[in-house]
Amino acid sequence: MKEAEVTTIAPDVLVTIVRLAALGVEGVSRMESIPGGVNRLFKRDSSEGTQLLVEHNTVYADLYVILDHDVNVREVSREIQTQVARAISEMVGMDVGRINIHVEDIDYDIAQSTKNV
């Protein structure tokens, strides 16, 4: 009888895949640190801007992002969800449960605002 082959994906690998997929979306300026508080202490696999939970081969993600000032927030958020889900499915073959996008701020360049005054 042939033994089944097993591939294990480290949580940090999933975090990297998710972060790179999100940062690759046009309109995403950067990831934001996950807000503090008691809830943060009980979340597993959290990294800067990314909080993941894996249950029964399904990935659930919360992404905390800062967007560029000149983008449609709804469209960019949907594109982040699409790209992250695609990356997880194609790169590691896992199912995607939900991907929540938390827009923490808008990156508005102060230098540009003074030019218009």
Q: Please state which CATH number belongs to domain 11-115.
A: 3.30.70.1350
CA 109 from chain center: how many Å? 23
- 30-81 residue pLDDT tens: 999 887 654 444 444 456 899 999 999 899 999 999 999 999 999 999 999 9
Separation of alpha carbons 38 and 54, rounded Å: 21
- Hey, what are 5's tokens? 């082959």
What is the distance, to the nearest Å, from the Cα of residue 103 to the centroid of all Cα atoms in its chain?
Answer: 11
Residues 60, 87: Cα–Cα separation, whole Å: 13
Q: Which residues pair with 52 in a beta bridge?
A: 61
pTM of the full structure: 0.81
Decide: 10 and 41 in contact? Cβ < 8 Å: no
Residue ranges covered by each domain of the chain: 11-115
pLDDT tens for 71-116 read 999 999 999 999 999 999 999 999 999 999 999 999 987 545 555 5
